[in-house]
Structure 1
Amino acid sequence: MSNNIEPFRIAASDAQLEDLKRRLREARWPERECVDDWSQGLPLAYAQEVAAYWRDKYDWRAREARLNRFAQFKTTIDGVGIHFVHVRSPHAAALPLVMTHGWPGSIVEFQKVIEPLTNPTAHGGDAADAFHIVCPSLPGYGFSDKPTSKGWNVQRIASAWSELMPRLGYKRYAAQGGDWGSIVTTCIGIQDPGNCVGIHLNMPIAMPDPATMNDLTENEKSAIAGMQHYNDWDSGYSKEQSTRPQTVSYGLTDSPVGQLTWILEKFWSWTDCDGHPESVLTRDELLDNVMLYWLPANAASSARLYWESFRRTLTDPVTVPVGCSIFPKEIFRTSKRWAEKRFAKLVYFNELAQGGHFAAFEQPETFVREVRNCFRLMR
């Protein structure tokens, strides 16, 4: 099998863009919600406003060029073509770092942090903090190929990343991730301790320690309440995607309004946005991310990761050094003492004052600082 690495550029066809506009023009809308907030989901007025902007004002060609300013490639690993951004630092001693997104995210999340991470001296930083950055699209996401057979769970993706990094010339590397990327990154720490020098997580999965239940801190009480809220009010998408990913994908693949609202509601729910996603991200940024689901028509293949990976809980020991950054509006938060039970070598732990689930996207300067601070302890 070929180990070739081929250059890649994002390039939607004119026919794809015209088809999108036609579908947006012909959208069939539901009636308005019965409440004056988002408690029944994305409000009709906002959905129509964003859809009209997407149809009439959003300039994909300009956004496409902006995404293409970073070098991108594809290579086949374990039978699946993997798309990735790869930006080498100008600093020779840079640490290779593979950064992994989740759902409903994409490589778009990392656009604002790649340059300061790879070239810190151009952004007020120190050459000693430089990274060579690799941002792969998960299999079935973005412009990676869609697996055609079952078995592509988080452990298999971690193995693929551990093959990708040496293929790029990086035998020794570090890993970072949030959402599914956090779980993939944790798997790398479990599966490849010989080459992975350490990991940084912005949604570490470390469950509440039963031994702490009688003396919970306020942050721990808040974290438990957050988990309960997610379970009761915020996890319907996950239940659907982990049990019937094919069924839910028909509407999302056929309707851009369906795909838009399925994703956009999570940016309202999971960002530190004070009630409106556009208070932390621009409308163009939100649509850039949606386009990486719409153009490749990957509603089914992206949802399938839930079906693949919810079958087994990860409890294996993580032996590499671990750093955690806890943002206040994250879905699942942990405390230091809970994290210490999960990670034997917890070398960095910080709780932030602002930010949510899409940390690199929402709070790029804070995210860059956290990544630098964490990996100073592991280089």
Structure 2
Amino acid sequence: MKQAIKPFSVAIPQTQLDDLKARLANTRWPNSETVDDWSQGAPLSAVKSLCEYWQHSYDWRRCERELNQYPQFTTEIDGIDIHFLHIRSRHENALPMIMTHGWPGSIMEFMKVIEPLTDPTAHGGSAEDAFHLVIPSLPGYGFSGKPTTTGWGLERIAKAWIILMERLNYSKFVAQGGDWGSGVTSAIGRLLPPECLAIHLNMAIARPSEEDMASLTERDQKALADFQHYLDSDSGYAMIQKSRPQSVAYGLADSPAAQAAWIYEKFHGWTDNKGRPEDALTVDQMLDDISIYWLTNSAASSARLYWESFNSMFGDPLTIPCGISIFPKELFRPARKWAERIYQNLIHWNELDQGGHFAAFEQPEIFVNEVRSCFAKIR
């Protein structure tokens, strides 16, 4: 018997919002950093400003209304309630697509691409560009259930997504993702379900060979230098979340200022900005995402995906048709030659001149064009 699909809408109790404001008002702040940049983490003045806005000006109910304008559902898969948006296009031959976010992202990343993807004729495209969208919250993230046992890694999530698409009566679909969403989407590709026609990634992971290292272009040298900077100076969060997700969560679950700073720092480091995260995303956009982590108490359950799957991102080669879009401020920017050894059936490859790790969030128009171009090749 198929599990029920139940309608869902976001309705955070006012007591939780009051508690958030009280905690923000009672924050015990650390002393200021001893540098004049972000090299020790998010600067005190920037986090204070963000939290002051969160406490006094931010409107969570607006975010709720934005989410609730779209059909949302939950369904139990493999013992976990999966929350998802399901937006069907009015165009008859729309292509079903499941899109997966990562950490510290959420379904909020996709808010500005929903309309162009589902209703392309109103947004510069043609009816042939239309998609039916399924946008789930990862297990342990947002409004999905939190795993209570080990084992919820990339492959298990990928299998759940395949079941979800079957449950929605989609006999053919494509999949898209960045960050952990790239890992899940790649895992779907490795499982090779006959109903998945192709995948698209905006974070591709591939290593250079020894031979590649002997003939690096200037572009490749820069990409490797940036990745080395990530390993040396920007990956501490990942080492903590993959080794001690429970320990770090006590602070993040108790202090909204801590949760905000933990994510805000990534919006600074990983977006295509001119020095401030606000150059790439609005304060409201960032707080919509941060608020979902806080209001669903997801610090521990989201971090645990690192414990489960951090070493699974480098997987076996894929033969499924695959498109890759490389944004200039992405953490990993492999050369096409390196990528072709892993993604062995490339149908789309493009290197963009704007955008970072949160592609759909930062550059919705570019992202939409990339997804349309990729999947036009298999329609």
Query: What interval of TM-score do these two structures reach, taking the shorter chain for normalisation?
Result: over 0.9
Q: Secondary structure at the match of 2:261?
A: helix
Letter in 2 for 1:269: G
Letter in 2 for 1:279: D
Query: So what's the TM-score if we normalise by structure 1?
Result: 0.98
Q: Which runs of 5+ in 1 are unaligned?
A: none
Residue 235 (structure 1) aligned with residue 231 (structure 2): no
1:279-321, Cα deviation, whole Å (9 max, x unpaired):
1111000000001100110100000000001244543231210
Residue 7 (structure 1) aligned with residue 11 (structure 2): no
Q: Secondary structure at the match of 1:325?
A: strand
State which drifts further: 252-261 or 33-42. Answer: 33-42
Query: So what's the TM-score if we normalise by structure 2?
Result: 0.98
Q: Secondary structure at the match of 1:185?
A: helix
Question: CA shift at 1:344, angstroms?
Answer: 1.3
Is the Cα–Cα contact under 8 Å of residues 142 and 292 in structure 2 kept in the other structure?
yes
Aligned to 1:50: 50
C-alpha root-mean-square deviation of aligned residues, in Å? 1.0
Residue 204 (structure 1) aligned with residue 204 (structure 2): yes
The whole-number CA distance in structure 1 between the counterparts of 2:255 and 2:227 is: 31
Letter in 2 for 1:138: L
The whole-number CA distance in structure 1 between the counterparts of 2:313 and 2:116 is: 35
- Map of 1:52-131 to 2, 5 A cutoff? 52-131=52-131
Aligned to 1:248: 248
Change (3 A) 1:312 1:63: closer
1:315-374, Cα deviation, whole Å (9 max, x unpaired):
323121010000000011111111111111011100000100000000000000000000
Is the Cα–Cα contact under 8 Å of residues 316 and 342 in structure 2 kept in the other structure?
no
State which drifts further: 202-211 or 324-333. Answer: 202-211
Is the Cα–Cα contact under 8 Å of residues 205 and 314 in structure 2 kept in the other structure?
no
1:148-185, Cα deviation, whole Å (9 max, x unpaired):
00000011000000100010111210000000000100
How many correspondences in the alignment? 379
Aligned to 1:323: 323
- Map of 1:331-346 to 2, 5 A cutoff? 331-346=331-346
The whole-number CA distance in structure 2 between the counterparts of 1:311 and 1:181 is: 15
Question: CA shift at 1:60, angstroms?
Answer: 1.0
1:40-76, Cα deviation, whole Å (9 max, x unpaired):
1111111111101100010111221112111110000
State which drifts further: 62-71 or 248-257. Answer: 62-71
- Map of 1:1-379 to 2, 5 A cutoff? 3-312=3-312, 314-379=314-379
Question: CA shift at 1:209, angstroms?
Answer: 2.7
Is the Cα–Cα contact under 8 Å of residues 325 and 351 in structure 1 kept in the other structure?
yes
Question: CA shift at 1:193, angstroms?
Answer: 3.5
* Aligned sequence identity (%): 59
Question: CA shift at 1:2, angstroms?
Answer: 5.7
Letter in 1 for 2:263: I
Q: Secondary structure at the match of 1:96?
A: strand
1:179-219, Cα deviation, whole Å (9 max, x unpaired):
00001000001113411100000001112232211111122
Change (3 A) 1:311 1:357: closer
